[in-house]
A and B are shown apart, each in its own frame.
Chain A
Amino acid sequence: MSTVIEAQGMSKSYGNFNALDKISFSIQAGSIVGLIGPNGAGKTTTLKALLGLIQFEGDLSVLGADPRKSRHSLMERVCFIADVGVLPRWLKVSNALDFAAEVHPKFNRQRAEKMLAATNIPMNKRVKQLSKGMVTQLHLSLVMAIDVELLILDEPTLGLDILYRKSFYERLLNDYCDKQTSIIISTHQVEEIESLLTHLLFIDDGQIILDSAMNDLASQYAEVLVSPDDWARADKMAPIYSRDLLGKKAMIFENVAADNLAILGDVSVPSVADLFVAKMRNNGGVK
């Protein structure tokens, strides 16, 4: 597999605030990466750096190019959806298609029209007349009609109700599952995208605090529901996180052999959400 993104020691500060603190990571072609972190962790800054929207220090290669120098040509191969509010409000739906058709060499108008036909978005309405959910669907239809190698989604479902959120990710998955497109999704609503992901990146305070393939999580992290009798024994194995659950404690362990844990109770793989909370607490991110 080829590398789509390679970041080395990327830093970005706004005044005294370090939005990114020398982060490094790489993303392989065809992976679907969840970039997960609390508000202000550096998610959007990371994505903006990938898109060539901001200047920063360090090395970054996206599809072999430095986005700071070649945003323009890179955007033929990368698509981007920020949260719902970025389509210009005065833009007519039909004009959005006209624009993309003329400006983007890889835009397939028929595909976009077909996708829009499946929604209840009228072609003659302006963006400001559409609901938030419709705007997201419109943007997604535009983007999905473009054959790209990398799709970047920054909180794409922020502010949408659960029905729209569900259908957004369903469409995304159905459309991309058979392609070699790499996708990066940033969100703080972990549960919704957990099943889509092949890779996890946790970010907090401008630092990557977890970088793992979903398949590797089981070998690194384990969750055990521990009865009060075993609490003392469990504590000795240094759980990274523990929470009360029905009179017991659900504890998450990092790099502890499953055999050792089995004595304490049933061992399972923690959910991404629980793992996220565990990592954040450990990092002092969530008080």
Chain B
Amino acid sequence: MKALAMLTRREFWEHRNTFVALPAIVVAVLFSVMLLGMAYTPPSINFSVQGNIDSDDFSVQSNIPPGGNQQQYEYHRDFTGTWATLLVTQLQATDSDTRAQYLSVGLRTIEGILSLILYLVTLSFLLNCLLTDRRDRSILFWKSMPVSDRATVLMKLFTAVIAVPLVYFAGIAAIQVSWLFLLSLSTAGTELSAWETIWAPAQLLTHWLDYLALVLINILWCLPLWGWLLVVSAYAKSVQLIWALGGPIGLIFVERLVSDQGRVQGWIIQHCSPITRSADMSDQLLSINMLSALIAGAAMVALAILLRGRADEL
């Protein structure tokens, strides 16, 4: 067990920049932007929002846009406070459902930025993790240690789809808490309750559990993608990106030649795209589609282990 944990730690030593420094920098930048944004006092604000918003506090400038949504209004208001106070006042003025919705959009935006970066980092790591040590010959060192090829490959997969997402999650959680905290500061000195206006409707814990559930589901849903990248990484001697793209594109091309159904194409595209919050995939999770992904993914991981067993320096 200690040896397996060390295999993950070793990945963090090698990839400190993308696993730790990058999310830390992004969190720092987001925090600075928030801080500046919150403290900034806009001279006048023009914005549109969707949904039913109590307009008592705002004067309606123009009414329903021609042909537009009945519920879309454009508000204009000369405002003396900062963005933060505006947002808090606005949150206060809405009902709790809308409030929760607003906060959720903010929390998801933060999450989305870091998740996108995480996705790219994961892809790049998996595509290179079994290639770079063949290229720099350090495979001869790694293979001189009593670590099985299975443990090597599986712990790289574990690092990519569990350990690193957890680090990114820590960053997401930190910046989300910071955002809510900054909003709470704006309620100080007013009669608004930070808990009722912000923390309660934000439902952070539920939000986080949902996110972690998505991480887990995507380990399985995208297993063919992770597995394929490991296979390419273990097999390719160079131009791994071309291999990685060429394989699926070739398969789609072959399918086009023999049928016009596009099933393979659809399947590939589906399992290359992690499930997001917006997609309703509940019926997909216990489906033949998911089962096929698990089988194909596991087969590719097994193939990557086999290839790793035969891998030598380049």
Query: In A55-94, which residues have CB < 8 Å from any B CB?
Result: 55, 71-76, 79-82, 85-92
**Chain A residues within an 8 Å CB radius of B309:** 71
A105 sits at the interface (CB 8 A): yes
Bound CA span A80–B141, Å: 8
Bound CA span A52–B142, Å: 13
**Chain B residues within an 8 Å CB radius of A71:** 143, 149, 309
Q: Are B148 and A82 in contact (CB under 8 A)?
A: no
Interface class of chain A by DSSP: mixed
**Chain B residues within an 8 Å CB radius of A75:** 143-147
Q: What is the minimal beta-carbon distance from B5 to any residue of chain A, in angstroms?
A: 7
**Chain B residues within an 8 Å CB radius of A91:** 13-14
Interface class of chain B by DSSP: helix
**Chain B residues within an 8 Å CB radius of A90:** 13-14
Bound CA span A214–B75, Å: 96
Q: Are B149 and A72 in contact (CB under 8 A)?
A: yes
Q: Which residue of B lies closest to A102 (CB)?
A: B6
Q: Are A104 and B146 in contact (CB under 8 A)?
A: yes
Interface extent on A, as a size class?
Answer: 20 to 34
Q: Are B144 and A80 in contact (CB under 8 A)?
A: yes
Q: Are A103 and B144 in contact (CB under 8 A)?
A: no
Partner of A102, one of B5, B139, B149: B5
Bound CA span A50–B133, Å: 20
A53 sits at the interface (CB 8 A): yes
Partner of B137, one of A85, A100, A102: A85
Q: What is the minimal beta-carbon distance from A53 to any residue of chain B, in angstroms?
A: 6
Q: What is the minimal beta-carbon distance from A132 to any residue of chain B, in angstroms?
A: 14
Bound CA span A104–B141, Å: 13
Q: Are A102 and B144 in contact (CB under 8 A)?
A: no
B3 sits at the interface (CB 8 A): yes
Q: What is the minimal beta-carbon distance from A206 to any residue of chain B, in angstroms?
A: 17
Cβ proximity bits B290-314 to A, threshold 8 Å, 1 near / 0 not: 0000000000000000000110100
Q: Are B144 and A92 in contact (CB under 8 A)?
A: no
Q: Are A80 and B140 in contact (CB under 8 A)?
A: yes
Query: In B1-47, which residues have CB < 8 Å from any A CB?
Result: 2-3, 5-7, 9-10, 13-14
**Chain A residues within an 8 Å CB radius of B138:** 86-89
Question: How many residues does chain B have at the interface if contact means C-beta atoms less than 8 Å apart?
Answer: 27
**Chain A residues within an 8 Å CB radius of B56:** none
Q: Are A88 and B312 in contact (CB under 8 A)?
A: no
Q: Are A87 and B143 in contact (CB under 8 A)?
A: no
Partner of B146, one of A55, A105, A139: A105
Bound CA span A76–B5, Å: 18
With A99-B6, A102-B6: A86-B140 Cβ-Cβ less than 8 Å:
yes
**Chain B residues within an 8 Å CB radius of A76:** 146
Bound CA span A15–B142, Å: 27
B136 sits at the interface (CB 8 A): yes
**Chain B residues within an 8 Å CB radius of A117:** none
Q: What is the minimal beta-carbon distance from B195 to any residue of chain A, in angstroms?
A: 45
Q: What is the minimal beta-carbon distance from B153 to any residue of chain A, in angstroms?
A: 13
Q: Are A53 and B143 in contact (CB under 8 A)?
A: yes
> Which of B138, B140, B146, B312 is packed against the most chain A CB atoms within 10 Å?
B146
Please give me the 8 A-B residue pairs with the lowest Cβ-Cβ distance, nearest first.
A102-B6, A88-B138, A72-B148, A80-B144, A75-B146, A86-B140, A76-B146, A82-B140
List 14 extra interface pairs beyond A88-B136, A103-B7, CB under 8 A: A51-B143, A72-B148, A73-B146, A75-B143, A79-B144, A82-B140, A86-B137, A86-B138, A89-B136, A98-B6, A103-B145, A103-B146, A103-B147, A104-B146
> Taking beta carbons and an 8 Å cutoff, which residues of B are in contact with A?
2-3, 5-7, 9-10, 13-14, 133, 136-149, 309-310, 312
A-B contact pairs, 11 of them (CB 8 A): A52-B143, A53-B312, A54-B312, A55-B310, A86-B138, A90-B14, A100-B145, A102-B2, A103-B6, A104-B145, A105-B146
